[in-house]
Amino acid sequence: MKTLFDKLWDSHTIAHLAGGIDLLQVDRHLMHELTGVEAMRVLERRGLNVDSPSLTFATLDHVISTMPGRRAGDAAWSTEMVEAMRAQMTHHAIPIFDIGNEGRQGIVHVIGPELGLSLPGTSIVCADSHTCTHGAMGALAFGIGSTEVVHVLATQTIRQKRPKTMRVLFDGRVREGVSAKDMILYVIGKIGAAGGTGYAVEYAGEAVEALSMEARLTLCNLSIELGAKFGLVAPDETTFAYLRGKQYAPQGAAFDAALDGWQALATDDGAHFDREVVIDASEIRVQVTWGTSPEHVIALDETIPDPAALADESRREAAQNAIDYMGVRAGQRLDELAVDRVFIGSCTNSRIEDLRVAASIVDGRHVARNVKAWVVPGSLTVARQAQAEGLDAIFRAAGFEWREPGCSMCVGANGDIVGRGERCVSTSNRNFIGRQGPGARTHLASPAVAAASALAGHIAAPQAGASQ
């Protein structure tokens, strides 16, 4: 009896090496300019060739400008990095999804699934910790370091230590208005930001099966915030319907043939997990972070906890430091906090479904006077679809700034940052100190909460009856 993870790992193991390390075959290697440019330079300095350029795919996302009409970066250094990747990929015959390349540019963890590069049963690596996102397709997907990128480029393999396995079982269905973002933040709050460290996590249960493909990508995206390198969902009819017709997915009869293998990618009855976590899905309410770790999270209608109530000294100290940094107090309600910025975007929540949810809430209304709100689509494909549906017009009429696709304010590598001391409700995945800029105060939330907060001028839930 094997778990889904066991099946994926075993099918990609080439050799067992010393020290409990396995050599794995890499099916897809995804690159972006922030880490890819220097890795390519190291490869070239060592006189090495790219082993399988057709299995590597590059995009521009981290430092490329998101300003309307952009061509490269917003600064000399970022433009140089963008131009360097363009030249490197051309030289090594590696496909690159650029802003002028048939409109396929976007955040690496958005375009992989939407183009059909991320397929069930494949192994996928990228020098980005949120590569776990692609595990929602039933793939063995994980982030790697810069040195490992050189190894993958030169050999199309990677050395890894096999992790333990964990299953997070969502028992029952979630209540109306609870999103995949709320589900994973709730789990992180329950077992902690290190609760998944050393594990590959499979998400299962009725509530997961009911999620759309895009929602499953959100769920797996924050696996790394749980401490886990891998997050997985077994592929099913939802997965297969999503992939049918995607550009890089098998087509026609080849797709039907691939289904035979994909349908076997499920955990066997009776398979052993090293840890099991059962969540009563009906107990999950809308979640928002209050501190500087994803585990600093509460339901929107709860109050910020008192650090003195925590038994563990290190967690007590971390919580107090977070309260001080965030400018909040124990016992305070989140809806008392005025908002300066709202960011709807990132590889967590910038897909078309996310934008539809946010647009349905702001339609016919307007952003609060003192709030600066952005929408940054996850890809040019998402942007085009949103424009075809009139979503961009809804956002603009409501006072949002409509940007070009990229990572943008999630990490601020391209200069899109939150000002010092400003409070931002963000649909991204990290609220660490300085993540969105020096002194920035970040509250992680769903697109619905972000949209509602932009309108209210403070952290807020969508109005009753609004779509989520």
**φ/ψ of residue 89, rounded to 5:** -65, -35
E-assigned strand segments in 266-409:
275-280, 287-289, 297-299, 341-344, 372-375, 401-402
Q: What is the model's pLDDT at position 467?
A: 37
- As a 3-state breakdown, the chain gives helix, strand, coil percent values, each rounded to 5, of 40, 20, 45
- Yes or no: say if 153 and 48 are a contact pair by the CB < 8 Å rule: yes
Domains of the chain: which residue ranges? Answer: 4-160, 164-234+261-283, 287-456
Q: What is the model's pLDDT at position 155?
A: 98
- Residue 276 CB partners (closer than 8 Å, separation 6+): 166, 167, 169
> Quick one: average pLDDT of 412-436?
97
pLDDT in tens, 349-394: 999 999 999 999 999 999 999 999 999 999 999 999 999 999 999 9
> Quick one: average pLDDT of 430-458?
98
Q: What percent of the chain has pLDDT over 90?
A: 96
> Quick one: average pLDDT of 266-287?
98
- Yes or no: say if 349 and 217 are a contact pair by the CB < 8 Å rule: no
Q: What is the pTM of this model?
A: 0.97
Q: What is the model's pLDDT at position 468?
A: 36
Which spans in 286-379 are helix H? Answer: 313-326, 352-362
| Single-letter amino acid, residue 121 | G
Domain boundaries 164-234+261-283, corresponding CATH code: 3.40.1060.10
Q: What percent of the chain has pLDDT over 70?
A: 99
pLDDT in tens, 291-322: 999 999 999 999 999 999 988 898 999 999 99
Please check the confidence at residue 466 and state whether its pLDDT lies above 70: no
Domain boundaries 4-160, corresponding CATH code: 3.30.499.10
State the fold for domain 287-456. Aconitase; domain 3 (3.30.499)
Please check the confidence at residue 464 and state whether its pLDDT lies above 60: no
Task: Supply the DSSP string of 79-108, one letter for each residue.
Answer: HHHHHHHHHHHHHTT--EE-TTSTT--B-H
* Residue for token pair 């994803």: 294
Fold match, 4-160 / 164-234+261-283: no
